[in-house]
Structures are given as C-alpha cells and as structure tokens.
Chains A and B, each alone.
Chain A
Amino acid sequence: MKKRGYYGNFGGAFLPEILIATFDELEAQFEKIKQDPKFWDTYVQLMSSYSCRPTPLTFARNLTNYFGGAKIYIKREDLNHTGAHKLNNVMGQGLLVQKMGKQRVIAETGAGQHGVACATMAAKFGFDCTIYMGEIDVIRQRPNVFWMEQLGATVIPVTNGTRILKDAINEAFRDWVSNMDTTHYVLGTACGPHPFPEMVTYFQSIIGQEARKQILEIEGKLPKRVYACVGGGSNAMGLFSGFLNDPVELVGVEAGGKGLASGLHASRLSSDDASPGVAQGYKTYFLQDDDGQMKETHSISAGLDYVGVSPILADMHDKGLARFESATDEKVIAALKLTMQKEGIIPALESSHAFAQAFEEAPQLSKDEIIIINQSGRGDKDIFTVADALDDPKWKKFIKTKAEEYHA
C-alpha cells in the first residue's frame, strides 16, 4: 500500500474516495512542475512583475537600538501584492490550475488575506471564484470581504460548527467533492492532505530563499534566529525553508490568546493541550478533547485561529528542529504599537505574534548577532480590531458619524 506525504508521523492523505482521482491528478501535475526548471523561472518572473518580489529585508534600526541586543531585520511580505505572503501560494497554484485546464477556484479564508489573494489571482487568470469564510471571521474582517466581492468573488459565510477557519475548510471540501471536474481547491496553508503541505511550502519557500540571500548580501553572515507566526504554518514554512541546512534557530510563534492557562488560545505546538489526530484530510497535532472532537480556539487574529497545524511543523517540533512559543493577545497589541511607533511599519495582528516573541528575546542576544522577523502581512486590514483593542475614542466617533451618514 502506497503511503504518501508523510513527515515523520504526520501528514498523509486521509481522503474520501470521491477525491482520490482528483488528488492523483494534482500530485502528478505538481511532480511535473517540480521537475521542470522553467516553471520556477516563470513563477519568479510572474511574482516580480505582478507583485513586488523580491520583497525588501528592512533593517529595524530604531527597534534594534531600543532593545539594545541583536540586530533586528524584518522580511517585508506586507509589501507583496495584496499585502501578505498569501499571494505567493495562490499565484503558484493559479499557474497549476491553468495547466490542469480547470476554470473555477475555491478557497477557505480566516483573516481574509488568502481570500483576497485568491480572488485577485482568479481575476487575473479569468477563473470563477468562490470563497468560504466563517461567519465570525466575516464580521471580524469586513474590509477583506468587501474587496473579495469587488474583485468578483462570491463570498459564502459559513454558519456551521465554530464558524471560523476550520469550518470554512470543511465547507470548501464539501464544494470540491461536488465540483472537482471543473474546480481546484486553492488551500491557503501548508496543511491538509498531501500534496498541499509540500506544495504550499514549495511556493512559499521563495520567502526564505530571498531572505537568506539578502542577509548574506547585507551582513555577510547568517542570522542567529528567525521568527515567524504560525497559524496553519505557510509563512513559517516559507521563511524556515531558506535556513533548513544552516545553523539558524527557527522559532514559530503561535496564538497565546488570553494565555495558555486560560485554555483560550490556538497553541498546538507550544502548549500541552494538543494531541495527534486526523482531521481535514491529514494527521497532525490538533486541539481536541479525549473523544477526538475539535475544540474551540481563540486568538485576536483570525489568521492564527486554527485547531491544526502544518504536519511538517509538527514533525519539526517532535524532532527538535524548530522551537515553538506563544504570544498572548495583550503582548501582540503591545508589539504592534511599538513597531508602528519606532519603525513606521504596521504589521498584521498575525505577524505581530512573531514580533512579540522576537522582542522578548532580542535583548538577551549580543549586538553582533542578527535576527529576522517575518512580517507575513500588513496590519491596516485589522483597523477595526486594533482600534477596539486600543479603545481609540476618535475612531469610535468616526464610526458613529459614518453610521449616521448611512441613516443606520
């Protein structure tokens, strides 16, 4: 019996029979493009003309001085088109969809960044596009819903289950098993059945490749540590990919929510609350009860609010190849505020988790050491959540006035 896509004990392809043929085709196409050196060139060319690749590696001089420890560099995925690393994956999969001759794409989205990226790709390539998004996330991330719809996508709020990211994934699978002849499911993160974890990592590895080259050009040496937030794990896998064979410590930062002790978090690898399980087509650490029912997760950032995690990261966790930490909502907001004030950069709430952990550790490192933080996305999408967290009176006044204009 052929077992596919395992990373140690994790991964696999726990597929309903109806999707087996579809995955056989997808896997074959992915193997083909991996063998074809021209495909990667086409991809890089597309990303440098349609988006802003390579994205800059910014030296954060003020933050570095403020903490007085390691030199802090920021990899600027926020400057990628649509404002996050998500575009890397969707453009790669878009090229694959063209090769497979399908005309429709579907996707799940949490924060809405993957949904916006997917809707953008669909507009450019001329595909029909449907985005599934948990009802709670629709409320949290209204601006992204607005843009998805303007870009021509249909956004379907998911009212099942906990009404967040995992429920959107289930609903996308339900669509796919009905429409796989015409439709490709553009999974947004390095999770799900094989080949998705490997394929999404493959496209996102452009982040790590660039970052490694850039830091060597600027500093002539490798960083001591690199930091990335971990929801599903695609931006982390993207950055880590560049340093897998180097003496660089890889640090993944999960959503600590209201603190690990509160139980209100989404920390699969940095808490003891998760255990191995099988759901959504793959095996990994899930936040689940003793029966195997998935638990509710909590995070201030919709994009990290997920019960599972990339099987590749789960394996790296077990083998000690990466270290996993968590950052609470409170520390994340503080890190976001500090980054804005010191550097004039607005990281997404998701990315701010990586900043928060890096800020804890930077002062303990020496001045000749270097760290890189992956700013996976830009924070202006989070204006409503951040304004609430900062309890900004002027913003509230503005919203009230705006509502009056609509005669609400």
Chain B
Amino acid sequence: MLESYILKKRQQKDILLMTHIVMGYPDFEASYKIVKQMVEAGVDLMELQIPFSEPMADGPVILHANQKAIEGGSTVLKCFEFAQKVAKDFSIPFLFMSYANILYKYGMEQFADKMAAINLKGAIVPDLPPEEGKNYITAMEKNRLAPIYIFSPETSENRMSYLSTHGAGFIYCLARKGVTGKATSFSNELTTYLERCRQATTLPLAVGFGVKDKADVDFLKGKADIAVIGSQTIRVVEAKGPDAAGDFIRSLF
C-alpha cells in the first residue's frame, strides 16, 4: 500500500519529499492552508502530528508548536476531523505522528480503525517500540496500515532487522542523535550509516532530523528514498506566514 506508492513515485523522482505539520498550529485554518500549499508545490507525503503535552523526542520548534496547538484547543477529535478533510481533498498519503499516550488513551484498536476509516496510511509513534506495541502492531496490520519504525545511528544491525520485520511502509532514519530541529552535518559518516540502513531492510528509507534546504535534499539523493522536512517548514511559516509554505517547498527541488 504505502510502500508500493513510494516505489512507484520513486520511478519518477530521484527523491521524495515528506513534510510535517502540527495540527492546529498556529490554528486549523492555517494548517489547512499549509497542507494545500505544500501538496500543490509537489510534496509526496505528509506527517500530521497530533499534539501531545510531553513531546519527549521533539526539539524547541516542534515542542513550542505542540504547546501552542493544545492551548489553542487542538483536541484529538478535531485532529481526526482535520485529517479526514485533508485526506479527502488531496491525493497524497497522509500519516499520523504522535506519542504513545494519545493512542493508548483512545484505544489502540479504535485508533487504528479510525485511521483506516478516514483514509490515513500509517503512523509514526516515537515512544512506542515494538516491544511495547504488540496491540498497536496487530491493530495496524488488521487495517492494512503502516506502523513506521525508526532507525538511529545507535541502532545495531540486529535491531535494525528486528524493527524492519515489524515495520511497514518505510523506515524513518534519524540523521543524527538528539531531538528534532537542530543542525545536522551531512557528511561521509551519514553516508556510511545510511548504507548500513540500506543493508538492513528492503523497505524504503526516509531521512529526517536537520534536513532544511536544497543542499541537504540533494545530498540524500541516491542514498535515501524520502527526505523529511520537519522543523524547518514550521520555522518558515512562523517567519513568513502559511502562504510562504509553497515557495519554500519549490526551493527544495
């Protein structure tokens, strides 16, 4: 499903682009405008983050967006309504990103059923490793949704294969240690690590954390299938407003 979409798209493009928004930041109207701009500018996939009060893996930019979204009244229910609308209005695949507690409180099965019902394709839940996510994996599989797992530079080969067995869609490779939105050096070290990732899985590879401009995206061509732009789009929207999102995306090609 998600994987075959990625493989098909890759026949037309050197690298695909995935972007990230926090739903309800700065508000839902702006969120919709950002999605529209990005899809029209040629983004291939999008992560829709359901905000959480304790986003442990996120750095200052996305952390701030999470807090503001919650303060502004971004509830799980409103996020579902928003996701349903964008998935209906735009033809690219949309994924949820959130933290384990949001799914746990909603109920793992109910959450996956809901995702399928509103036509979402997969989810990234950074604090739910397979060891703790048995119900989640089962529920996602039942609905033919992709549980997306993460490789880090610290992940051993053994664990990479283990994660690959439980994952679907693609693997999200962290370009470096740390949290989202900090600088990354695009170096030989990163190339070697991505070769290691490629060896460990047949799933497509997405690379995120610190990817911010055309040079970074170009660097990843031939080494990965998807470049993930997270914090940088939020920074651009904060500085120039939602209407700047499209031009920013076009500057990456």
Contacts and interface: CB of A to CB of B under 8 A. Distances in A.
A291 B105 contact: yes
B179 A279 contact: no
Nearest to B153: A18
Interface in A1-18: 1-4, 12-18
B132 A14 contact: yes
B154 A18 contact: yes
B200 to A, nearest CB: 13
Contact of B127 (A15, A22, A292, A294): A15
Contact of A16 (B56, B75, B159): B56
B129 A160 contact: no
Interface string B163-197: 10000000000100111001000000000000000
Contacts of A51: none
Interface residues of A, number: 39
A288 B101 contact: yes
B42 interface: no
Interface string B69-104: 010000110000000000000000000000111101
B174 A17 contact: yes
B148 to A, nearest CB: 11
A166 interface: yes
A98 interface: no
Given A13-B131, A18-B174, A177-B177, A160 B101 contact: no
Contacts of A2: 131
A281 interface: yes
A118 B107 CA distance: 39
Q: Which of B53, B100, B151 has the most CB of A within 10 A?
A: B53
Interface in A271-292: 275-281, 283, 286, 288, 290-292
Contacts of B131: 1-4, 13
B63 interface: yes
Given A21-B154, A161-B67, A292 B52 contact: yes
B129 A177 contact: no
Nearest to A173: B56
Interface string A156-170: 000011000010001
Contacts of A174: 56, 59, 178-179
Contact of B126 (A16, A170, A180, A286): A16
A291 B102 contact: yes
A292 B105 contact: yes
B179 A277 contact: no
B134 interface: yes
Contacts of A279: 54, 99-101
Contact of B70 (A15, A281, A288, A293): A293
A180 B176 CA distance: 12
A123 interface: no
B101 A277 contact: yes
Contact of A20 (B67, B99, B154): B154
A177 B152 CA distance: 11
A29 interface: no
B63 A160 contact: yes
Given A161-B53, A170-B54, A294-B54, A17 B129 contact: yes
Contacts of B75: 291
A290 B105 contact: yes
Given A178-B177, A277-B101, A278-B100, A20 B54 contact: no
Contacts of B151: 17
A161 B54 contact: yes
10 contacts: A15-B127, A16-B150, A18-B152, A21-B156, A174-B179, A178-B178, A280-B56, A288-B105, A291-B105, A292-B106
